[in-house]
Amino acid sequence: MSIITTPTTTPRGSHKQDPPQQRSRRRVEPIFYLFLVPSLVLFTLAITVPGIIGIFFSFTDSIGIGDWEFVGLTNYIAIFSDPAILQSYLFTFGFSIVTVIAVNVTAFLLAVGLTSRIRMKSALRTVFVIPMVVSGIIIAYVFNFLFSNSLPSLGAAAGIPWLESSLLANPDFAWVAIVLVTAWQAVPGALLIYIAGLVAVPADVYEAAEIDGASKFQQLLKITLPLVSGYVVINIILGFKGFLNAYDIIVGLTNGGPGTSTRSIAMTVIAGFNGGDYAYQMANATIFFVVAIVISLVQLSLTRGRNAL
């Protein structure tokens, strides 16, 4: 990244215009600190300090207020044998994996369709992006109504027994509803990224394949997919990172129920605020943080070199 700024300034050293340039290289103008410092200070106060406080209290028995004592790794040890937390991790990861697959298959196919020779291209694209801009909690309330009122009454009218009861009340399948709504909202982001990837594929590659007699399906599988593989990786990781934080949509659909079958990691952490196990949930959050870091490192190692920056 520095490549762009440094070399372009050096050759210009021979020009007459260089005094201000050289001055700024020797001594930073104070105003640049004025530009940078507000962000640094606010960022530190709003994110870094709370992060450190959180990690600190994860080694204590604090309930959020009043006295506390250091308890070492007690919280961490307890977490690894806590079935409720284990369940939230299993649910969140399972849900994220299924949603990532659903979102990417749907978005990829839609992107292929939207970049082919179709009518109403821009109107369709406009419509497909709408779910991205609506509030997650509110659309979850709307789907909540559809799942618990409209679908059952349709099921009753059509005489399909398993459809007559609400999907959201079924402990074994409520997660399916969460996947559907999350995917409904997450497809547009992935779709736009796939469209960008597909547009970049040169047309003559397909012409060559056409001459060689490759079918449309073969072209899709053997040419398109490998050429946009970088975008697939980006979409999978961005999606996965987002879904691990699932909160709004679940609150609007099941609120973690039935029972605790659809409680996400974020929901268990937040519950610590009212439940009095502040320190315990901070340990949970710290573990979650480490998981997020690991995923981000995987992302960096997979995407490095793929983009020009």
Q: Which is nearer to other proteins, 64 or 172 (CB)?
A: 64
CB of residue 45 vs other proteins: minimum separation in angstroms? 8
CB of residue 306 vs other proteins: minimum separation in angstroms? 9
Find residue 60's DSSP bridge partners.
Answer: 70
Max Cα distance, the chain (Å): 86
Q: Which is nearer to other proteins, 52 or 90 (CB)?
A: 52
Segment holding 14, helix H or strand E = none
Amino acid at 162: W
CB of residue 125 vs other proteins: minimum separation in angstroms? 8
CB of residue 246 vs other proteins: minimum separation in angstroms? 10
Identify whether the C-beta of residue 103 lies closer than 8 Å to the C-beta of residue 187: yes
Rounded to whole angstroms, how far apart are CA atoms 39 and 29?
17
Burial 195-206 (b: 16+ CB within 10 A, else e): bebbeeeeeeee
CB of residue 175 vs other proteins: minimum separation in angstroms? 19
**Helix 174-199 with 83-114: angle, nearest 10 deg:** 40
- Which residue, chain included where needed, has tokens 């490192």? 297
CA atoms within 13 A on the CB side of 167: 20
Rounded to whole angstroms, how far apart are CA atoms 96 and 143?
19
Task: Decide: residue 111, CB within 10 A, 0-12 exposed, 13-18 middle, 19+ buried.
Answer: buried
Q: Which is nearer to other proteins, 20 or 202 (CB)?
A: 20
Q: Which is nearer to other proteins, 20 or 172 (CB)?
A: 20
Q: Which is nearer to other proteins, 25 or 222 (CB)?
A: 25
CB of residue 15 vs other proteins: minimum separation in angstroms? 9
Rounded to whole angstroms, how far apart are CA atoms 220 and 245?
33
Q: Which is nearer to other proteins, 76 or 247 (CB)?
A: 247
The dihedral sign for the CA sequence 125, 130, 132, 133: positive
Q: Which is nearer to other proteins, 35 or 173 (CB)?
A: 35
Tokens of 213: 């007699």
Identify whether the C-beta of residue 95 lies closer than 8 Å to the C-beta of residue 183: no
